[in-house]
Amino acid sequence: MTLVTSIDPAGKLHGLQLAPAATSPWTPPSYAAPESFAEQEITIGSDPLAVPGTLSLPHGDGQRPAVVLLSGGGPFDRDETSGSNKPLKDLAWGLASRGVAVLRFDKVTHTHGHVVNAPDFTMTGEYVPHAVAAVHLLQHQPGVDPARVFVVGHSMGGKVAPRVAAAEPSVAGLVILAGDTQPMHRSAVRVARYLAALGPDVIPQAMVEEITRQAAMVDSPDLSPSTSAGALPFGMSASYWLDMRGYDPVATAVALDKPMLILQGGRDYQVTVADDLSGWRAGLAHRPDVTIRVYDADNHLFFPGAGPSTPAEYEPAQHVDVAVVDDLAEWLTAGVGVVRLPPGAKPPSI
């Protein structure tokens, strides 16, 4: 394991996390063609909470579609690094090799870990300001069609993607990769029970009981901004959970007049076909501009495998399913979701 710490400018410790240790360096997937694109470092935002990122621009003339990648819950870097694996870098290199510009960036909780201790910290603040800034930055890049900038979110990044598009109408469309629709505190209980069933060496029963008690507090009418973070799941503030509790990703998506591609791994135990994809299907079944696909062999990170999925299968070095990359690139380049700006109009300023 790798011990990841977050320390503020005053030298105070604000976060501690155990993460899988990288057992081998990341290598490009076979479906990537690094010679077909160039990468450059960029900065998202100009205030004290600005974050670094990477822009991948395909070579060649003409305007192309582009995407902003959003990682899942937790203090992830721009690649969504987990041990030896970098699923968002897989996606970025795979899409850039297929003619799609890609912008990915470190989450504010990765670069500025102390923000999680702010009493008013929320999921919206964690994602939306930087995602909107990233959309604007892409819209001003030479070679990018400002009318075809999409948001592609994985896991919690997929859950919050409709809120990003609601905040920034110029977003052309959404791609939701394993986006959860079940309330997160309830899915935490479900996942904990799943892991406990694998054996006490995976997660002890006492932890399941603790998570269950904390989740019940999120559902309680007594939850208020003054509720202690220690009584809530993952030690997140009451404001964070109040924001989550008041957010319905499906209803927000239904209200958007934008095309969507929703992808789901059939073996995913964190965000499941039965508990989460069913929500997208029920809410968006009437929409001809929504495409839903399930990859039966894939887990939560869209790594192909066989049998019941377990945490151990994330440890070996592997790559995002090429079928996911191909389907995503085909959907993005097929002309869907073009937001036509009025004659003479310019994309939002940055």
Give the residue numbers annotated as catalytic, written as ranges: 155, 268, 300
User: Is the separation of the CB atoms in 217 and 189 below 8 Å?
Assistant: no
Residue 130 is encoded by which pair of tokens?
């930087």
User: Is the separation of the CB atoms in 46 and 37 below 8 Å?
Assistant: no
In the DSSP assignment, the letter for residue 308 is S
- What is the C-alpha to C-alpha distance for residues 19 and 7, in angstroms, rounded to an integer? 17
User: Is the separation of the CB atoms in 183 and 102 below 8 Å?
Assistant: no
- What is the C-alpha to C-alpha distance for residues 132 and 280, in angstroms, rounded to an integer? 23
- What is the C-alpha to C-alpha distance for residues 70 and 154, in angstroms, rounded to an integer? 6
User: Is the separation of the CB atoms in 153 and 175 below 8 Å?
Assistant: yes
Question: Going by C-beta distance under 8 Å and a sequence separation of 6 or more, which residues neighbour residue 46?
Answer: none
φ and ψ at residue 291, rounded to 5 degrees: -115, 130
